[in-house]
Amino acid sequence: MTDLDTLLSVTDFEQRWMAKADRAIGQYVAGGAGTDRVVAANTAAFDDVWLQPRGLHDHPVNLDTTVTLFGQRQAFPVMLAPTSPQRLVHPDAELATARAAASRGVVSIVSTDSHYPYPDIVAAAPGRTWFQLFAYRSRRDVEATLEFAESCGAAAIVVTVDASFAARRLSTQRAGYRLPAGVDYGTLRALGILRGDPPSSGRHDKLPVTWDDLRWIRGRTELPLLVKGVLRPVDARRCVDLGADGTIVSNHGGRQLDGVVPTVFALEAVVDSVPAEHPVLLDGGVRCGISAAKAVALGARAVCIGRPYLWGLGLAGQHGVERVLDLLRDEFADAMLQLGISTVGELDRSFVAEPPRRYAAIR
């Protein structure tokens, strides 16, 4: 039994889990594309954003960390990004993750490539999951997947557009990663898209998502639709024009393209390119509540975390994910108090000391 109370930061969770994980699986989670440089750069880029507190409050402090997204109240602006398949790190996989998110009042975004079938995950956390869509095989399959997600009770659809092609994950390859026996793709199986053994590489062929596909997907769901994997302002604008309800600035945790811009450097320009009411979220490299506060100050409505909750899940299932969320919530609340604000809505660019040096070299 791991004593999680001795882990005082998300990085402590990383170190503890990496020390006990199977080497190849550890590397699969940690790794990125090519040199893995972007994985580190996503986190390091937050160090180039400096906060400027006012210390003094306008009113007596009545701290409120909640945010509302698509009519849904969240306890604080940190959500769980889709990762697949979580059975790699813990037998309870997405069920534990969804339960932890629900118990802490945040949303878990569930991958099309989940180990457990999506209906089981929704049942574990009713109303607290969004469904992340990968386009498989044909429009007919995509349509069936959307209908399935809606009928199960997804609260929103997230279309990932930056992982259509297999990435060159060299460190993962070098570690000899293979999908272990017993790990499955329950949602794809429930949909009849996967039959027989899952591919040992863990990769399935996805359809590249075109602008036309995105428009077509928009027309096929009434749920809030978010596009994940947007980095260019012009693309964010185009997503808004074709009816997307939200944008997730993401580089897939550095797992797709070596040399891609760290997400926090891409954030402001994307925020500036869309209407103020259009929610922009960010993921990639968030390892503490301070980074979440920086992203929110630069215009993100919320951030998502990927690897950090997998470390918690790997160490202690649902309880581990809850502890990671508790740490991030406490750090975020502390940042608000130290900055001199009571509500998340007050956190704006005036709290950032100077504009981040966009595309600056990462130490």
Q: Closest approach of Cβ 148 to ligand FNR, in Å?
A: 16
| Interface residue with ligand FNR, options 26, 285, 317, 356 (CB under 6 A) | 285
At residue 27, what is the residue type? Q
| Interface residue with ligand FNR, options 108, 111, 187, 273 (CB under 6 A) | 111
265 vs 341, beta carbon nearer ligand FNR = 265
CA distance 74 to 350: 24
| Interface residue with ligand FNR, options 27, 65, 74, 84 (CB under 6 A) | 84
| Interface residue with ligand FNR, options 74, 132, 221, 318 (CB under 6 A) | 132
Site string for ligand FNR, 136-165 (x = CB under 6 A): ------------------------x-----
Neighbours of 222 (CB within 10 A): 8
Annotated catalytic residue within 57, 252, 278, 319: 252
57 vs 232, beta carbon nearer ligand FNR = 232
The distance in angstroms from the start CA to the end CA of the chain is 37
Is the distance from CB of 276 to CB of 63 less than 8 angstroms? no
Q: Closest approach of Cβ 255 to ligand FNR, in Å?
A: 6
| Interface residue with ligand FNR, options 10, 21, 29, 328 (CB under 6 A) | 29
Is the distance from CB of 74 to CB of 302 less than 8 angstroms? yes
40 vs 337, beta carbon nearer ligand FNR = 40
Contact range with ligand FNR by CB under 6 A, out of 148-156, 281-289, 291-299, 341-349: 281-289
CA distance 28 to 169: 9
| Interface residue with ligand FNR, options 34, 77, 82, 117 (CB under 6 A) | 82
Q: Is 169 in the site for ligand FNR (CB under 6 A)?
A: no
CA distance 287 to 312: 12
Q: Is 186 in the site for ligand FNR (CB under 6 A)?
A: no
Cα distances from 361 to residues 233, 352, 353, in angstroms, run 21, 20, 19
Q: Is 284 in the site for ligand FNR (CB under 6 A)?
A: yes
Question: Residue 25 belongs to what H/E stretch?
Answer: helix 23-30
Spell out the residues 6+ positions from residue 233 whose beta carbon is closer than 8 angstroms to its own: 269, 270, 272, 273
Contact range with ligand FNR by CB under 6 A, out of 45-53, 186-194, 284-292, 294-302: 284-292
Structure tokens given for 268: 């402001």
Could you tell me which of 218, 232, 212 has the C-alpha nearest to residue 162?
A: 232
Q: Closest approach of Cβ 64 to ligand FNR, in Å?
A: 25
| Interface residue with ligand FNR, options 17, 41, 42, 245 (CB under 6 A) | 42
252 is an active site residue: yes
Could you tell me which of 135, 129, 117 has the C-alpha nearest to residue 154?
A: 129
DSSP letter, residue 138: -
Is the distance from CB of 264 to CB of 231 less than 8 angstroms? no
Is the distance from CB of 339 to CB of 51 less than 8 angstroms? yes
Q: Is 228 in the site for ligand FNR (CB under 6 A)?
A: yes
Could you tell me which of 85, 65, 83, 84 has the C-alpha nearest to residue 75?
A: 65
Is the distance from CB of 306 to CB of 253 less than 8 angstroms? yes
Q: Closest approach of Cβ 58 to ligand FNR, in Å?
A: 33
Q: Is 256 in the site for ligand FNR (CB under 6 A)?
A: no
Residues that bind ligand FNR (CB under 6 A): 29, 42, 81-84, 111, 113, 132, 160, 228, 250, 252-253, 255, 283-286, 305-307
